[in-house]
Amino acid sequence: MEMLKNHSAFARLNHPGPLGHPSRGGELSNPPCPDIAIVPAAPAHLPGLAEIAAAAPDPWSESGLAAALRADNQLLLAALQNGAPVGFACFLHVADTADLQQIVLVPALRGQGVGEGLLRRGLSLMQAAGATRCLLEVRCGNAPARRLYQKLGFAVLATRPGMYQNPAEDGLLMAVNL
Ligand SMILES: CC(C)(COP(=O)(O)OP(=O)(O)OC[C@H]1O[C@@H](n2cnc3c(N)ncnc32)[C@H](O)[C@@H]1OP(=O)(O)O)[C@@H](O)C(=O)NCCC(=O)NCCS
């Protein structure tokens, strides 16, 4: 674990600043919309991200976000509009496998390519960090998310009966090779 902390790509990816490649540090290039930036999340973004996470269909706590920010094997990407958080995506990386743990956009900005931009950027960074596939779980009835994942090449591997609560719903396990 110490080696992972000191040497994994995540130790660099999770923190803004020079990361060895211009497109991986600080403010990342090619945002999905002209006024949206996709950046590695910083502690200053946590309160805004926590509001977005709390309002998501399957909410996350601010402490969960803070833990993701600190962890060497998690990548927390923020979408910013004029510097204010409007969405995020969180990935976990274990061995050769990445896991999309959460992706959420504020309702007002959905349907404008920002979620796709976050996901594409995260998958690219996971691949650069050595992941060869990405997994995720999604509610069966979450059509927008399922369409997004299918657009980026994810396919259903299995169903997870009764996986979700509030409301109760089956889940789908999806995967893409990177
Ligand atoms: C899922 C989510 C992150 C998608 O982000 P988004 O920015 O709205 O999506 P984008 O605008 O980037 O859309 C990209 C693709 O997703 C699909 N998509 C997005 N919204 C859709 C909708 N309302 N209906 C159908 N397909 C949709 C389309 O394939 C779209 O590509 P296209 O525009 O070329 O057709 C966003 O809807 C969200 O925050 N939902 C609530 C949280 C959530 O459910 N997260 C997923 C947990 S598993």
Task: Please provide the distance, in angstroms rounded to a whole number, between the alpha carbons at the two ends of the chain.
Answer: 24
Residues 13/40, Cβ–Cβ less than 8 Å: yes
Residue 110 alpha carbon to ligand 1 centre in Å: 7
Instruction: Supply 58's token pair.
Output: 């399957």
Q: Is the CB of 7 under 6 A from ligand 1?
A: no
Residues 102/119, Cβ–Cβ less than 8 Å: no
- 159: three-class secondary structure by DSSP: strand
Q: Strand 74-81 to strand 36-40: parallel, antiparallel, or no bridges (unpaired)?
A: antiparallel
Ligand 1: nearest atom to the Cα of 150: 29
Q: Is the CB of 59 under 6 A from ligand 1?
A: no
Q: Is the CB of 55 under 6 A from ligand 1?
A: no
pLDDT attached to residue 98: 98
pLDDT attached to residue 33: 66
Q: Is the CB of 138 under 6 A from ligand 1?
A: yes
Residue 59 alpha carbon to ligand 1 centre in Å: 17
Torsion sign over Cα 37, 22, 75, 168 = positive
Fold of the domain built from segment(s) 5-132: Aminopeptidase (3.40.630)
pLDDT attached to residue 22: 31
Q: Hey, whose CA ends up nearest to atom 7 of ligand 1?
A: 115
pLDDT attached to residue 133: 98
Reading the chain (178 residues) residue by residue, the pLDDT tens digits are 333 333 344 444 444 432 223 333 344 445 566 699 999 999 999 999 999 999 998 999 999 999 999 999 999 999 999 999 999 999 999 999 999 999 999 999 999 999 999 999 999 999 999 999 999 999 999 999 999 999 999 999 999 999 999 999 999 999 999 9
Residues 10/73, Cβ–Cβ less than 8 Å: yes
Q: What are the extents of the domains in the chain?
A: 5-132
